[in-house]
């Protein structure tokens, strides 16, 4: 790989001038917020691919015949993820989930427990209510394009001690706790699982994960949790709404192995009725690039135990609450401690009184990344366009998606 030295501070020394801070004397009304967001009506114009991940595969009529091209498009820390691209297609034809010990062929559960690489697609639109957590094996792509796929009103996804998984273009909402019990997790193994928390997607001790164009809301616990040594993750083009604790990256202040965690958040929209944790980070390195934060009620980005957070080209629209204007929130640390944490802001647009409190040494060490690991940011003024198609896409065969 071509390696470049990325000095995370040199360009941040002028962060005050690089950021754009705009205050509205009368605040932002809902109509103004929608205008800033650019979400007026459902888009009906010609196909547009507005960010580098989407430009890699979108707006091509033959996408359905060349689905695996998607696996070449991931950028950021999850860039090595190729999912099930080396395997055959598996078509989900049955939305039932009645038998978690001996899943029925044609169901999503039967597909994900196979030990061989698979590219999983859906025969038609379906709503799937999972009776227990869906335990996904390594080397899988779950590709919802061409169908309207909802995982709802039941359990969520579990990626535990696996690698190389892509989840793309599905809805995940209203996930509830599951009772646990005997569940098959592969073709040749089942075991007893404790009760599930009600996370939308739980990533545990896993690596090379890409979550893209997912619409998520109203899960009982977190929308996405990545913990216990998980790393090499990209979360991109997703739309998050109606939730309290959105995203947890690192679950314990005592689990120091999470210092190796590396996560990219790119081109996501953090939307209506969100409270906090977008994300909430521990230990690792987090690149938050060109996301749109249009709503939060407590804070947007939080952390503890000295995570490194690099925020580039995001748009932060603060809530009306004068006590919730700050984007950032440090937990369980005095200022004398967190002043040394590297939290940087470059090219962010701060609206309605939003405040990004930076910290860390003026001359931090050089960090070496290859060009695929660090997505080159656009200024925050471009975020409306870059995130315009966040969430699930309405892809139809023989029509540009």
Cite the active site residues: 277
- Pairing between strand 88-92 and 118-122? parallel
Q: Which residue bears the tokens 């075991």?
A: 191
Residue with tokens 């690698």: 163
How many CB atoms within 10 Å of residue 235? 28
Cα angle vertex 271, ends 266, 276, to 5°?
85
Q: How far apart are CA 71 and CA 63, in angstroms?
A: 12
Residue 208: Cβ within 10 Å count = 24
Q: Would you call 266 helix, strand, or coil by DSSP?
A: strand
The owner of tokens 């998606």 is 401
243 has which bridge partners?
Answer: 274
**Helix or strand run (H / E) with residue 374:** none
Q: Can you tell me whether residue 372 is helix, strand or coil?
A: coil
Among residues 233, 238, 237, the alpha carbon closest in space to that of 249 is found at 233
Task: Check: CB of residue 392 under 8 Å from CB of residue 23.
Answer: no
Nearest to 122 by CA among 90, 153, 154, 96: 90
Residue whose tokens read 């060490």: 365
- The DSSP bridge partners found for residue 311 are 288, 345
In sign, the C-alpha dihedral spanning 296, 299, 301, 303 is negative
Tell me which DSSP letter residue 79 carries. Answer: T
For residue 132 the two structure tokens come to: 């227990």
């Amino acid at each position: 790989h071509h390696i470049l030295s990325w000095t995370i501070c040199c360009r941040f020394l002028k962060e005050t001038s690089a950021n754009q801070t705009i205050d509205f004397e009368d605040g932002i009304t809902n109509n103004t917020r929608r205008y800033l967001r650019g979400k007026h009506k459902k888009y009906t114009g010609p196909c547009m691919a507005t960010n580098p991940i989407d430009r890699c595969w979108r707006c091509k009529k033959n996408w359905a015949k060349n689905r695996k091209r998607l696996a070449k498009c991931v950028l950021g820390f999850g860039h090595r993820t190729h999912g099930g691209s080396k395997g055959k297609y598996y078509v989900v034809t049955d939305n039932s989930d009645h038998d978690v010990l001996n899943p029925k062929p044609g169901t999503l559960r039967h597909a994900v427990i196979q030990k061989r690489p698979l590219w999983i697609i859906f025969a038609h639109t379906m709503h799937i209510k999972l009776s227990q957590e869906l335990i996904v094996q390594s080397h899988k792509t779950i590709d919802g394009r061409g169908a309207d796929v909802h995982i709802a009103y039941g359990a969520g996804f579990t990626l535990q001690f696996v690698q190389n998984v892509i989840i793309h273009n599905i809805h995940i909402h209203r996930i509830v706790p599951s009772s646990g019990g005997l569940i098959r997790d592969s073709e040749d193994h089942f075991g007893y699982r404790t009760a599930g928390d009600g996370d939308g997607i739980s990533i545990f001790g896993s690596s090379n994960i890409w979550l893209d164009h997912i619409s998520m809301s109203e899960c009982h616990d977190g929308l996405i949790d990545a913990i216990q040594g998980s790393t090499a993750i990209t979360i991109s083009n997703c739309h998050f709404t109606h939730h309290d604790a959105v995203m947890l990256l690192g679950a314990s202040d005592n689990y120091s192995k999470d210092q190796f965690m590396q996560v990219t958040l790119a081109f996501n929209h953090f939307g209506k009725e969100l409270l906090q944790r977008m994300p909430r980070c521990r230990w690792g390195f987090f690149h938050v690039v060109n996301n749109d934060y249009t709503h939060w009620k407590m804070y947007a980005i939080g952390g503890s135990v000295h995570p490194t957070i690099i925020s580039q080209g995001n748009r932060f629209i603060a809530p009306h609450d004068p006590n919730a204007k700050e984007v950032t929130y440090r937990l369980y640390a005095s200022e004398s401690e967190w002043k040394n944490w590297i939290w940087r802001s470059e090219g962010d647009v701060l609206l309605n009184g939003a405040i990004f409190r930076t910290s860390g040494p003026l001359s931090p060490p050089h960090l070496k990344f290859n060009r695929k690991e660090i997505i080159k940011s656009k200024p925050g003024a471009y975020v409306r366009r870059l995130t315009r198609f966040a969430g699930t896409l309405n892809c139809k065969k023989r029509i540009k998606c």
